Amino acid sequence: MIENLYYNKNFDLNKAIDFVFSSDNPVHQGLIISKLNENMYDPELIDEFRKYIKKKSKKIKPFYNSLDTCGTGGDGKKTLNISTTVALLLASIGIKISKHGNRAASSLSGSSDILNELGIKMEFRENKIIGNLKKNNFTYLNAPNFYPILKNVAETRKLLGFKTFFNMIGPTLNPLQTKYQIVGTFDKKSCKAIAEILLKNKLRNFKVFTSDDGLDEISIFSNTTMWEKTTNNQIKKKKIDHHKFRKYLSQKNLSFEDIKGKEPKYNAKKLINLFEGKKNNYRDMVIINAVYGVLTIDQNKKFDEAYEILVSSIDSKQSLDHLNKICS
């Protein structure tokens, strides 16, 4: 079986997927994953794995009218939890957020890690998940609670030690099947591949982006490549010049150190400091990325209008009060 899959160029993809998840031999799993990874940016490959994982998942009632900020991770920059902070900020201004995520893989603190440090529960009961979303505009979906089959490849992925197509599957697996997403990716090829999958999955609107400095975020330090859905149901590529953000920055001397993260306790403290009003480039990164979240949900909003709403939420302590409400 392993020989046929590894050496046969025309092997059956479905058989390969079944083998990857059913094998109890990490070496054999690693060989097939490595073989498949030669085409890691192929949307068909990613989507077939996605569909297989969905079939084996824990099913819950969809909540389509919400936004997810789940990214691929894997940029290796070990930054603060920007997309998670963006999600909490957006929830504070009334946007329904169904945040999908996991524990850290390549970073020091994943979404699950920082939210646990903040005291936000990892709910898996459907009534609690939907209840939190309706009451607080925020619910967190811890991936292992809904996709236990991924545990079958977790050890092998760690042993491989490099990015694979699995990094691109996560953002396409929101358990609530949200129809709005902003997705940060680790490079330009993954950016386009995920955009093609989200289009195929008929999301109402989405923006997928990666920055020239290697961040899986919209960057204030360098230009960003973005793929987004158009009004005629296509995807188009655009370049975002980081100089356009200069007038919105709280400090003009850019400091990458402002967004460098550490362990979950440290990152949680920085998030709270931001919502308490601390001004630095971490705040700037969060607000700029959150603006694009607003524009994804409401295509009639102007950039400046969205920016002012988000700044007001922080400066008035609305975002801090809302965070405390979620944590309680």
pLDDT in tens, 191-232: 999 999 999 999 999 999 999 999 999 999 999 999 999 999
Same domain, yes or no, for 148 and 286?
yes
In a domain, 50, yes or no: yes
pLDDT of 138 higher than 70: yes
In a domain, 274, yes or no: yes
Same domain, yes or no, for 222 and 269?
yes
Please give the model's pTM, rounded to 2 decimal places. 0.94
In a domain, 13, yes or no: yes
Same domain, yes or no, for 218 and 304?
yes
Same domain, yes or no, for 87 and 45?
no
Same domain, yes or no, for 30 and 151?
no
In a domain, 35, yes or no: yes
In a domain, 194, yes or no: yes
Residues 56 and 46: their CA atoms lie apart, in Å, by 16
Q: How many domains does the chain have?
A: 2
pLDDT of 161 higher than 70: yes
- With vertex at residue 207, the alpha carbon angle to CA 206 and CA 211, rounded to the nearest 5 degrees, is 165
Same domain, yes or no, for 12 and 121?
no
Q: Phi first, then psi: what are they for 113, rounded to 5°? A: -65, -50
pLDDT of 1 higher than 80: no
Same domain, yes or no, for 12 and 88?
no
Same domain, yes or no, for 41 and 151?
no
Q: What domain range includes position 185?
A: 67-327
Mean pLDDT for 75-90 is: 93
Question: pLDDT of 89-126, one tens digit each?
Answer: 999 999 999 999 887 665 668 899 999 999 998 888 99
pLDDT of 172 higher than 70: yes
Same domain, yes or no, for 47 and 75?
no
Per-residue confidence (pLDDT) for residue 49, from 0 to 100: 96
Same domain, yes or no, for 91 and 8?
no
Mean pLDDT for 154-158 is: 87
Give kind and range of the element (H or E) at residue 206: strand 205-211
Same domain, yes or no, for 317 and 184?
yes
Local confidence band at 3 (pLDDT 50, 70, 90 cut-offs): low
In a domain, 60, yes or no: no
pLDDT of 275 higher than 80: yes
In a domain, 61, yes or no: no
Question: pLDDT of 246-268, one tens digit each?
Answer: 999 998 899 999 999 999 999 99
Residues 84 and 268: their CA atoms lie apart, in Å, by 10
Q: Could you give the C-alpha distances from 323 to 92, 96, 271, in angstroms and in order?
A: 8, 14, 10
pLDDT of 323 higher than 90: yes
Residues 234 and 223: their CA atoms lie apart, in Å, by 23
Question: pLDDT of 12-23, one tens digit each?
Answer: 899 999 999 999
Q: What is the mean pLDDT of the chain?
A: 93
In a domain, 23, yes or no: yes
Residues 179 and 67: their CA atoms lie apart, in Å, by 7
Per-residue confidence (pLDDT) for residue 76, from 0 to 100: 81
Same domain, yes or no, for 238 and 213?
yes
For position 166, which CATH number holds? Answer: 3.40.1030.10
Nearest to 194 by CA among 174, 168, 170, 213: 168
Residues 257 and 239: their CA atoms lie apart, in Å, by 25
